[in-house]
Amino acid sequence: MPVVRGVERCLAGIRTHNGFLNAFTNLRPAETLLKEAAEANQRILSNQPLSRIDGKIIAVKDNICTDDVPTTCASEFLREYRSPFQATAVTRLNTSGAIVVGKTNMDEFGMGSHSIYSTFGMVKRPPPAGQEDAPFRSAGGSSGGSAAAVAAELCDGALGTDTGGSVRLPAAYCGIYGLKPSYGMVSRWGVIAYSNSLDTVGVLARDRKGVEDIFNAISGYDAMDPTSLSDTTRDRIKEAIARRRGQNKSPLRIGIPLEYNLAELTSPILATWKHTLTQLSRLGHPIVPISLPMTKHALSTYYILAASEASSNLSKFDGLRFGTRSPLDWDPETQTLFAPTRKSYFGDEVRRRILLGTYSLSAEAMGNYFVKAQRVRRVIRGEFDAVFGLQNMLYNKAAEEAEDAEEEQEAAGKVDVLITPTSLSMSPRLKDVLAQRSPLDSYVNDVLTVPASLAGIPAMSVPVGVGEKVGMQLLAQFGDEEALFEIAKALE
């Protein structure tokens, strides 16, 4: 019974290591897991697996709704919250035969980069072999619990969410693979919204194949999510990719965005970036320097938009509609309802974001912040569209235009995949993160990941190098996850 043994091994691993790692918030009952494992085992033995991930053990970030264990977003507000329904991504895992082991720890509502802002306490990065006594390091955030669980082999893979880098950054810090799919590829139904125009459900695994298999299982149109990509659009994207690859049989062209070569990049990151490019060039991939001049505005744009949307999304947590109501609520003296509950149950970082967002959306600031940020976002997307040979099938006109000979010739010189580092540095020590004086110090960590989020394009962090792995980020045109997997494979 290999699947049953796999589940037993994971549960034993969780018992031994979760006390230290703090990767899980809630587990599904062991008997249920073992029963599901026995069923999966049966299917696999009789050569009738439901999918490539049948019997795989998958952890799910705690802002993705499951109907049998709480969904807490690592917030005191939702500590006891049980969703009456299940997220589509989780249902798709179930129907593919995967075994959902439990929910993973995170930054409250997905806001953070180190998984330290959790009502369950901070996540720690699994120490690489031989470094068990070294100071604790950051697992990255906000999907730090998912990354730590995968890296420590407490499960085969995990779902995370990536709004501005929350799958890619933890993947890089923990030395594993992390994919943020194109916006709309994977249904967001049942994912508690942080910033709905940026939120995506992502995948973490120890190898490229694992990511690909889980992604294929959860990706697909869902009528419950109004931003889910329709089957027609998915087909058009596939056709456009086939057309481009068909006419351009040579190895994928790799772009290096010069603006990502920041002075803050630390030496191991810079060295690995150079080494990766040399390796790809040896494999015959043309390496093309390209420019994305608006990159420098991406971080501020992201923090205005994400906070604005968050301030609106989080207004439903008032202790009446959603969340626990504080015994202090309804203060007869000040005649306030909600405020005492929100004050006691939201963490500091979440309250900071709500304030920031409420301000950006106020009549006085809207034109200068929110509206400008929306404009910058559009320009950033346009810059990506200009460097990729493949058309953006979401925004560009009909496919016939792509067949226009002149355009095709021009597209031939453009690139398929961009390569940048995922993070500025290796995983920092938690002690140093906690000693940071300003929350802005943490925001800076997202500088390399937010542009892809604003543009809605797919991005994947790939662990590269010998010894302690360094996260390299691959980016491709909207809908072209295939190109990411191809380059990730070349780097294996």
Q: Candidates 46-54, 109-117, 393-401, 461-469 — which segment interacts with ligand GLN by CB under 6 A?
A: 109-117
CA-based nearest residue to 173, from 209, 230, 128: 128
Token pair for residue 458? Answer: 């797919």
Nearer to ligand GLN by C-beta: 326 or 461? 461
**Residue 62 lies near ligand GLN (rule: CB under 6 A):** no
How far, rounded to the nearest angstrom, does the alpha carbon of residue 266 sit from its chain's CA centroid? 23
Structure tokens at 161: 């969410």
CB of 164 to ligand GLN, least distance (A): 3
Interface mask toward ligand GLN for 389-428; x: CB under 6 A = ----------------------------------------
Within 153-172, which residues bind ligand GLN (CB under 6 A)? 161-166
Within 13 Å, how many C-alpha atoms sit on residue 193's CB side?
21
Residue 110 contacts ligand GLN per CB under 6 A = yes
Measure the CA–CA gap between 483 and 240, rounded to whole angstroms. Answer: 13
Please return the burial class of 182, using the count of CB atoms within 10 Å of its CB with bins 0-12, 13-18 and 19+. buried
As measured in angstroms, the least distance from the Cβ of 165 to ligand GLN is: 5
Beta carbon nearer to ligand GLN, 14 or 150: 150
Q: How far, in Å, are 107, 112, 434 from residue 116 at the CA level?
A: 6, 8, 8
Q: Residue 318 CB: number of other CB atoms within 10 A?
A: 17
The string of DSSP letters for 439-477 reads THHHHGGGTTTHHHHHHT--EEEEEESSSS-EEEEEEES
Give 269's DSSP letter: H
Binding letters toward ligand GLN, positions 188-227, x by CB under 6 A: ------x---------------------------------
Sheet holding 24-27, edge to edge: 24-27, 99-104, 57-61, 157-162, 200-205, 177-180, 459-464, 470-476, 417-421, 254-257, 287-290
The one catalytic residue in 61, 124, 414, 469 is 61
Active-site hit among 83, 96, 118, 142: 142
- Residue selected from 222, 383, 446, 481 as contacting ligand GLN according to rule CB under 6 A: 446
Question: Could you say which of 41, 83, 86, 142 contacts ligand GLN (CB under 6 A)?
Answer: 142
Choose, by CB under 6 A, the member of 55, 112, 126, 144 that binds ligand GLN: 112
CB-nearer residue toward ligand GLN: 73 or 470: 73
Q: Catalytic site residue 315?
A: no
Contact pattern from residue 241 through residue 260 relative to ligand GLN, giving x for each residue in contact according to CB under 6 A and a dash for the rest: --------------------
479 counts as binding ligand GLN under rule CB under 6 A: no
Secondary structure (DSSP) of 314-337:
GGGBSSSSBSPPPTT-SBTTTTBS
Using the minimum distance from each CB to ligand GLN, give the nearer residue, 162 or 481. 162
Q: Which stretch binds ligand GLN (CB under 6 A): 81-89, 107-115, 147-155, 417-425?
A: 107-115
CA–CA gap between residue 301 and residue 296 (Å, rounded): 10
Among residues 69, 74, 87, 111, which is the contact residue for ligand GLN, using CB under 6 A? 111
Distance from C-alpha of 157 to C-alpha of 207, rounded to nearest angstrom? 9
Residue closer to ligand GLN, measured from CB, 55 or 178: 178
Query: Is 451 among the residues that bind ligand GLN (CB under 6 A)?
Result: no
- Tokens linked to 18: 């979760």
Which of 41, 91, 105, 113 is in the footprint of ligand GLN by CB under 6 A? 113
Q: Give catalytic status of residue 51 as yes or no.
A: no
Options 166, 228, 423, 427, the catalytic residue: 166
Is 166 annotated in the active site? yes
Residue 72: half-sphere exposure toward Cβ, Cα within 13 Å: 23
The residues pairing with 473 across neighbouring beta strands, listed in sequence order, are 420, 461
Question: Which sign does the torsion angle of CA 351, 356, 358, 359 carry?
Answer: positive
Residues 287 to 306 in contact with ligand GLN, rule: CB under 6 A: 306
Give residue number: closest CB to ligand GLN.
166
> Distance (Å, rounded) from C-alpha 324 to C-alpha 322?
7
Least distance in angstroms from the C-beta of 324 to ligand GLN: 23
Indicate whether 311 belongs to the interface with ligand GLN (CB under 6 A): no
User: Number of residues in contact with ligand GLN, rule: CB under 6 A?
Assistant: 14
How far apart are alpha carbons 488 and 492 in whole angstroms?
A: 6
Active-site residue numbers? Answer: 61, 142, 166
User: Footprint of ligand GLN on this chain (CB under 6 A)?
Assistant: 110-113, 142, 161-166, 194, 306, 446
